[in-house]
Amino acid sequence: MTFVATDVSIRFGGVHAVDRLSLSVSPGEILGLIGPNGAGKTTFINCISGASRVDTGSATWDGEQLVGRAPHEIIRRGVVRTFQNVSSLHDLTVLDIVKLGEAAGRSSRGLLERFWSSERDRENGLTETVLRPLRLADIANQPLQTLSYGLRKAVDLARALAARPKLLLLDEPVAGLTSHESATMAEVIRSVRDRIGCAVIMVEHKMHVVNSTCDRIVVMASGAKIFEGSSQEAQKDPEVRRVYLGEA
Amino acid sequence: MLRHLSPTIFAVLFTLALLFVIPWLDRYATYLLISVAIAAIGALALNLLTGMCGLINFAQGALMGVGAYTAGNLGNAGWDILAVPAAGFVTAIASLVIGLPALRLRGLYFGVATLAAQFIVDYLFKILEPITHGVSGLPIRQLRVLGIVIQNDRMFATVCVLSLLLAWWAMYRVKNTDLGRSFLVVREGEIVAKGMGIDVAHTKIWAFLISGFFAGIAGALLGFNARLADPEAFTLGLSVDYLAMIIVGGLGSLTGPLLGSLFVTLLPEAIQRVAESFGIASLLSALREFTFGLLIIVFLIFEPRGLSALFRKLMFQRDARNRKKASYLNNSTQQPQGEETK
Amino acid sequence: MNFALQLITAGLAVGSVYSLIALGIVLIYKCTGVVNFGQGGFLVLGAYLTYALRAAEIPTPLAVVGSAAGMAIVGMAAERLMLRPMARAPLVAIMMATLGMMILINAVCLMIWGSDQRAYPALFPDGALDMFGIFITYNYIAAGILSIGLSLGFLAFYRFTNLGLMQRCTANNTKAALAIGIHTGNQNCFAWSMSAALAGLGGTLLATLNGLSLGLGSIGLAAFSVVVLGGLDSLAGAVVAGLLLGVLQTLTAGMLTPILENFLRAYTSVYSVGALQQVVPYCLLVVILLVRPQGIFGRKGTERL
């Protein structure tokens, strides 16, 4: 079961937001996707999660094509993403959001089951498997609106985990977090990977988080892949240095 | 103390209290009770589509008309009380017919499409004479429940109150399912909803079906109450009345439609009293409209979350103060995952 | 053939009044992003104001101008009192508020003038013109010419004057307009008062054609078909679409209705199709929304409101 993206491309007008990007990830592996601003990292995530169209190329998980499918179909196949901006949703509580995440990952339930299932059992199950590991169990019934940005991101991750992902797409998971929160989040990501053995693609800027969690990294610039390998090798690669630091 | 009761038990107790009181009510009070109960069912229906799911619907009047005409025809054909749920199902289909083509449209354009639907259905009521008897209206036989004729207002009020309980309970159950939660997320924005993996089309379809069903029930009861289904009763004006109910009551909550329907139904009565005491009864309907329009505007400017939010603020002011005190003292239990950044 | 031309001419005249009303809706939308569901209220109030001024023996041109001025003030008041406090409210709430405003204005008219239909004072001389076998009353000619004149005049103003330029800036990008020093509050105010004045004039002209009653307000809602058909963000589209709709209505009333009624009477027990031409705008609306939601001249993507 691997994720294979082949020559994924998308253009907006004359700009190649993503230019023939190919990469692959295996279960249990955390792949870091880094690059300067505007490199196309989030656009790539949008492409493979169904949020954005794809002009050419393919993205398959376990052999099944993801390109062209609606977001909810992609999630049902186990490819789940998190978001950079976590908005507050009316007065839905943490548990509500997580339940929604779980429902998204599940294939359709019958009509009766939908109305009569025991909410209590389901809540307990989700609290144990998703909320407690992320230390959110205490605030399960608080509305999302009342939580800090850092906590909301944690809830978003919980939502993604509740969908039982086989491939987790993390879009800047530590953006906007304090260094303490970032370290905690990095630890959480590692433990999630250890616990459920999913594959992870992580888009990130903060190198210390990337270094501490990622097994491999891919560096993007202007929509294309310019380097793939370990983090140490990346720091020595001349093209990477040029893109980040300018002409030496 | 009351707050700690499960909402369902509270609703059942409240309904039983109402039923107990009915025999003591005079004719006018019974008439008011029926009006409010029917309005509440319709408001709950519209609240699901517009309040919870964010789909502005101007066709509520037309849908209730479909319910009334269906129930009228079935009732006249001997369907008894089954005419009411049957009207619900037919109206659910009608609601879907109106909603499906508009699935691709958002916000305003969707609203305009429902506006068009309201006028088109209005027109159909007037010309499809074989079914609707056109402008003169469809006379409707008295409602029968299992063979018993509902021959006075008190019996009918009982039917209405019980129907309201059922409608409320169904909404309460729906709100606590994944489907109900999806409604709220779709309302926030389709992109967010899709990103979370919600099948937006599926969610909207269910919103139409459930909302349409209860709009049909309300319309059916309206028809049986008036013993007539008449095109003039199901116009845009009725749709606007219901929109006002859910706005004033508070969009999205379950108590909102109840408070709103109570308020909007009793308002003309209150105005009548005031107008009579001031001797300007001739301006009655104009006054009602005026207050209506003014209230909608005032509520939207100052308390967009409606009466239910005001109510909650008043009820829980004491609670909120206590909670603040507690959290100030128990600082250590806050934020299990590091410092707050916001 | 003559009959069809007759219908088309009448349709153009009525349609041009629709254009005028629709222009107002598009103007407010472009400038402020709000869709004014209360345009029908402005329409009716304008018609009644002209009626009242004429009843006070004020000569026609002054009465019409006075009514327009009065409506401009009403529009300004609406912007200041209702729209400004709601500047940050969700769009749905604002649109519902404009609906509330329409109810309010209707109620005021009801209170002052009652619900009876009134004979409208003749604003234009009686009589008709016979052009190439087409019979057209001065009322229709005047309504048509005035509406088209006003519409084109407004389009020219929007395109060629400084104030028009500022309007276009605000319409395009409010933040950018603020950044270059345009007082967007004043621009919004202008848009609303202009729109109300245009609607009022449209109402006056409609009343000369159809008589005066509160039912005129529903034409304000029919104007939404014009707006959607032409494209919500296109002023020129509103003008063209108004004309199209007017012609469609008269052709329906004059030609489609009799044909349909004959057909129905022969094969079903339905006797009459009633006011088919009044429901035609809405059928058209549904078709447009299904096929091309952005309208004839609109840009794709505006329907994602």
pLDDT tens-digit map of C53-111: 988 888 888 889 999 999 999 999 999 998 888 887 777 778 888 988 998 998 899 88
Q: What local confidence, expressed as pLDDT, does residue B337 receive? A: 40
Q: What is the DSSP string of chain C?
A: -HHHHHHHHHHHHHHHHHHHHHHHHHHHHHHHS---TTHHHHHHHHHHHHHHHHHTT--HHHHHHHHHHHHHHHHHHHIIIIITTTTTS-HHHHHHHHHHHHHHHHHHHHHHH-SS-BPPPP-S-S-EEEETTEEEEHHHHHHHHHHHHHHHHHHHHHHHSHHHHHHHHHHH-HHHHHHTT--HHHHHHHHHHHHHHHHHHHHHHHHHHH-B-GGGHHHHHHHHHHHHHH-TT-HHHHHHHHHHHHHHHHHIIIIIHHHHHHHHHHHSS-----SHHHHHHHHHHHHHHHH-TTTTTPPTTTT--
User: What top-level class would CATH report for the domain C2-291?
Assistant: mainly alpha
Tell me, rounded to whole angstroms, the distance of Cα C167 from its chain centroid: 20
CB contact under 8 A, B117 and C286: yes
Q: Which residues pair with A168 in a beta bridge?
A: A80, A200
Q: Is C260 on the interface with B (CB under 8 A)?
A: no
Q: Which residue has the higher pLDDT, A167 or A247?
A: A167
* CA-CA-CA-CA torsion sign (C172, C175, C176, C179): positive
pLDDT value at residue A247: 57
Question: Which residue in the set B173, B194, B338 is minimally distant from A180, CB to CB?
Answer: B338
Of C281, C263, C205, C12, residue with least CA distance to C4: C12
Tokens in use for A238?
Answer: 């001349």
**Spatial CB neighbours of B188, under 8 Å, sequence gap ≥ 6:** A87, A89, A90, B54
Q: What is the pLDDT of residue C253?
A: 87
pLDDT-flagged residues of chain C (< 50): 302-305
A175 and A237 in a single domain? The answer is yes
**pLDDT at residue A115 above 70?**
no
Angle between helix axes C2-32 and C138-160 (nearest 10 degrees) is 30
Counting residues of chain B whose pLDDT is more than 70, the rounded percentage is: 89
Contact call for B301 and C82, based on CB within 8 A: yes
Residue A122 lies in a domain: yes
Whether B126 and C274 lie within 8 Å, measured CB to CB: yes
Q: Which of the other chains make 3 or more beta carbon contacts under 8 angstroms with chain A?
A: B
Give the mutation candidate from B205, B213, B337, B342 for the A interface (greatest A CB count, under 10 A): B337
Provide the CATH number for the domain around residue A33.
3.40.50.300
A181 and A74: one domain? yes
Give all chains having 3 or more CB-to-CB distances under 8 Å with chain C: B
Whether the pLDDT of residue B2 is over 60: the answer is no
Locus of tokens 């153009």: C12
Domain ranges in chain C? Answer: 2-291
Structure-token match 């104001």, residue found = C49
pLDDT-derived band of residue A203, with 50, 70 and 90 as boundaries?
A: very high
Nearest to A107 by CA among B331, C50, B178: B178
The answer to whether position A177 is within a domain reads yes
Residue B180 has pLDDT above 80, yes or no: yes
CA distance B188 to C6: 51
d(CA A79, CA A65): 12
The secondary structure of chain A, three-state, reads CCEEEEEEEEEECCEEEEEEEEEEECCCCEEEEECCCCCCHHHHHHHHHCCCCCCEEEEEECCEECCCCCHHHHHHCCEEECCCCCCCCCCCEHHHHHHHHHHHHCCCCCHHHHHHCCHHHHHHHHHHHHHCCCCCHHHCCCEHHHCCHHHHHHHHHHHHHHCCCCEEEEECCCCCCCHHHHHHHHHHHHHHHHHHCCEEEEECCCHHHHHHHCCEEEEEECCEEEEEECHHHHHHCHHHHHHHHCCC
Is residue A84 situated within a structural domain? no
User: Cβ contact (<8 Å) for B198 and A104?
Assistant: yes
For residues A10 and A113, membership in a common domain is answered with no
Please check the confidence at residue B316 and state whether its pLDDT lies above 70: no
The reply to whether residue A99 touches residue B187, judged by beta carbons under 8 angstroms, is: no
B118-132, B328-342, C154-168, C191-205: range with lowest mean pLDDT? B328-342
Taking each helix axis from N to C terminus, what angle separates A149-162 and A94-105, rounded to the nearest 10 degrees?
Answer: 30
B177 at interface of A, judged by CB pairs closer than 8 A: yes
**pLDDT single digits (tens) B133-174:** 888 888 888 888 887 888 888 889 999 999 999 999 999 989
| Residue A209, pLDDT score | 87
Domain extent listing, chain B: 2-233
B332 pLDDT band, cuts 50/70/90, is very low
- Spatial neighbors of A4 by CB under 8 A, at least 6 apart, are A24, A58, A59, A60
Give the model's pLDDT for residue C254: 86
pLDDT tens for residues A75-96? Answer: 888 899 998 877 766 678 888 8
Q: A20 or B4: which carries more pLDDT confidence?
A: A20
Partner-chain contact A100 B341, CB within 8 Å = no
pLDDT value for B10: 84
Q: Facing residues of A25 across strands?
A: A3
B and C: number of Cβ contacts within 8 A: 139
* Domain region containing A39: 1-78+165-248
Binary contact (C293, B111; C-beta < 8 A): no
- For the residues of B145-165, what is the DSSP string, one character each? ETTEE--SHHHHHHHHHHHHH
Q: How far is A168 from chain B (nearest CA, A)?
A: 13
Is the pLDDT at B340 greater than 60? The verdict is no
Q: What pLDDT sits at residue B23?
A: 86
Chain B contact for C287 (CB, 8 A cutoff): no
pLDDT score for B78: 85
- Do A14 and A64 lie in one domain? The reply is yes
Q: Of A100, A142, A169, which to mutate for an interface test with B (greatest number of B Cβ within 10 Å)?
A: A100
Q: Is residue A15 part of a domain?
A: yes
- A151 and A177 housed in the same domain: no
Residue B250 per-residue DSSP state: -
Who's near C248: CB < 8 A, 6+ residues apart?
A: C11, C280, C281, C284
- Residue, of C267 and B322, whose pLDDT is higher: C267
Pairwise pLDDT comparison (A149 vs B72), residue with the higher score: B72
Same domain as A202, residue A231: yes
Interface test with C, best of B109, B186, B290, B298 (most C CBs within 10 A): B109
CB contact under 8 A, B335 and A163: no
Determine if the pTM surpasses 0.90. no
Pairing of strands A199-203, A30-34: parallel
Query: Is C283 part of the contact surface with chain B (CB cutoff 8 Å)?
Result: yes
Which residue type does A159 have?
Answer: R
Query: Do A248 and A171 fall into the same domain?
Result: yes
Other residues' Cβ atoms within 10 Å of the Cβ of residue A244: 15
* Per-residue pLDDT tens digits for B259-290: 999 998 998 888 877 777 777 666 777 788 88
Q: Tell me how many degrees the CA angle B50-B53-B55 measures, rounded to the nearest 5.
A: 50
Task: Decide if B195 and A81 are in contact by the 8 Å CB cutoff.
Answer: yes
B-chain residues near A159 (CB < 8 A): 196
Total number of domains in chain A: 2
> Which pair of tokens denotes residue B141?
């036989």
The answer on A126 and A71 residing in a single domain is no
- What is the CA angle B299-B270-B42, rounded to 5? 60
